[in-house]
Chain A
Amino acid sequence: MVTSSGEWLRGSGPESDIVISSRIRLARNLAHFPFISRADASDRAEIEKQLRDAIGAAVENPLDYVDVNKLAPIDRQFLAERQLISREHAESEGARSVVIDPSEQISLMINEEDHLRIQVMHSGLDLLTAWEQINALDDRLQQYVTFAFHDKLGFLTACPTNVGTGLRVSVMLHLPALVLTEQIERVFRSLQKINLAVRGLYGEGSQFMGDFYQISNQLTLGRSELDLVKQVGDVVPQIIDYERKAREALVRQSNESLHDRVSRAYGILRTAQTISSEETMHLLSSVRMGVNLGLIHDLEIPTINKLFIHTQPAHLQKLRGTELDTADRNKERARYLREHLDGQGRPEQN
């Protein structure tokens, strides 16, 4: 799993030049147990056991059961970088686990904020497939467990912001041209009006992920799941369109400076001797756009997607097989980037 990168990063799927991934999650709680805030150790252990049994019975394919509580901090961080668990799940305490299918499309977090959070993630814009998959899985699970449900309020969750469908639909977009042309705020404002949340993505600690934005539904009650999926799914093509137009405008108006920017970014990534995670994200973002605009020819999107993940702190240390402090990580990151960007196959200088 360390060297692989998960289905959602393979850089394929519809609109994958701009849409990184489509993710849907469902929040569920067992009806016969208190929510996590009032669950003691024995409740948590029993919740975990019942859910693991149910998942084992509901899913035919082999799954990895990971006891998050017993993992070293670096391994928890690794799962969070991989988006298989939330940062909250990585950092909280007590019996908790995650069940992952080998393709990393499906992950089920047990004892997070809710007893169960089912997540399905696909690369590119592929919300309907993700919804069908998660809906079927939820149906199968309900043959084995009873979820807390209220006739009028729907599925009951620990936080009233998730009640009803418990559904969160998120699409991760790469929008460098809208950022460069300073139009991103306008997009945000129009999304607000239809109750969608927009967030910049960030890496471990304080590091920004260059120009990546996540759009998700904010409301979970009063609309059907499919309506919520469609609401996000309908707006994404419009944003893709804005981003494409902004890229075209950049090429038209300032092709030279754009090409310069992209080439410099590529140059630094191929030659740096030490580089922070933050700078890496920033430069990879420019390079990614450069590849999509045909300004860089000898690099493919899946490679860049992989580099985004593999240069994050926990991945880097796992790949190297040892714990590294910040300074050594910055050197190792630069080495890793040189090795993977400077004409693959060529023997490494240094």
Chain B
Amino acid sequence: MRCQKCEKPATFHITELAGGKPQELHLCEEHAKEYLRQPDAAEEASPSLAGMLAQQLAVGQTAAELARLDQQACPVCGITFFEFRNQGRLGCPHDYVGFKKELGPLILNIHGESEHRGKRPPGGGGGTDELTKLIRLRREMREAITEENYERASELRDEIRQMEKTTRRAP
């Protein structure tokens, strides 16, 4: 068998399972080294994640729909769907709610399941809305400062301080 990237015989056979579907790679020593040199490639599934997402979206969406979707931004952290699609990393906990329609099928595809069956935080956890409010406020405060809207910034700062008092558990 020949290396997938050049003419040399494939001496390394690597099975990559990132993304649910096993992918076999047949590489010569040189290309195998190059491939494995990518830091923690097995745990960091971002390239195949982006690939899966692209596949997922290719099924249902037209180009126009995809362009519209790409521009959608999270109201909490400001990440656009395009940015997520590119880097394979979400911007905040709220994205799991905000991009639910697109993420749901992807998560099901990755894990073959859609419901958590593991441990839960003390008190049971619950919705993310209240929890992510602080993230949005901090971002708005920064934006207000950039826009030199200092009155708004100081209002937001007071609100943030108030919230931090109630959310942070003092060690």
Contact = CB atoms under 8 A, between A and B. Distances in A.
Whether both chains belong to one complex is answered with yes
B119 A135 contact: yes
B40 A34 contact: no
Interface string B109-133: 0111111111111101111100110
A94 interface: no
A139 B111 CA distance: 25
Given A91-B39, A149-B125, A205-B37, A222 B119 contact: no
Contact of B49 (A145, A150, A160, A222): A160
Classify the interface of chain B: helix, strand, loop or mixed.
loop
B15 interface: yes
A192 B120 CA distance: 29
A146 B92 contact: no
Give the residue among A31, A91, A168, A216 with the most B Cβ atoms within 10 A: A31
B15 A144 contact: no
A245 interface: no
A208 interface: yes
A220 B118 CA distance: 9
Given A143-B122, A159-B49, A206-B34, A150 B39 contact: no
Interface residues of B, number: 70
Contacts of A37: 79, 83, 87, 89-91
Nearest to B163: A32
Contacts of B134: 32-33
Given A54-B171, A222-B116, A197 B111 contact: no
Contact of A31 (B93, B114, B138): B93
B15 A198 contact: yes
Interface in B114-171: 114-122, 124-128, 131-132, 134-135, 138-139, 142, 164, 167-171
Contacts, number: 210
B15 A192 contact: yes
Contacts of A29: 93
B77 A34 contact: yes
A147 B121 CA distance: 8
Contacts of B69: none
Interface string A1-31: 0000000000000000000000000000101
B33 A56 contact: no
A301 B19 CA distance: 37
Contacts of B58: none
Contact of A200 (B36, B96, B114): B36
A188 interface: yes
B118 to A, nearest CB: 4
A189 to B, nearest CB: 7
Give the residue among A142, A218, A224 with the most B Cβ atoms within 10 A: A218
A199 interface: yes
B107 interface: yes
Given A32-B134, A144-B169, A195 B13 contact: no
Contacts of A147: 121
A167 B118 contact: yes
Interface string B56-100: 000000000000000000001111000100011111110011000
Interface of A: 29, 31-38, 40, 43, 50, 53-54, 56-58, 86-88, 91, 113, 135, 138-139, 142-156, 158-161, 163-165, 167-168, 185, 188-189, 192, 195-200, 202, 205-206, 208, 214, 216, 218-225, 227
23 contacts: A32-B164, A34-B77, A43-B138, A50-B168, A142-B122, A143-B169, A144-B169, A148-B128, A150-B97, A150-B116, A150-B125, A152-B114, A153-B115, A159-B49, A159-B88, A185-B13, A195-B112, A197-B18, A197-B42, A200-B14, A208-B36, A219-B112, A223-B117
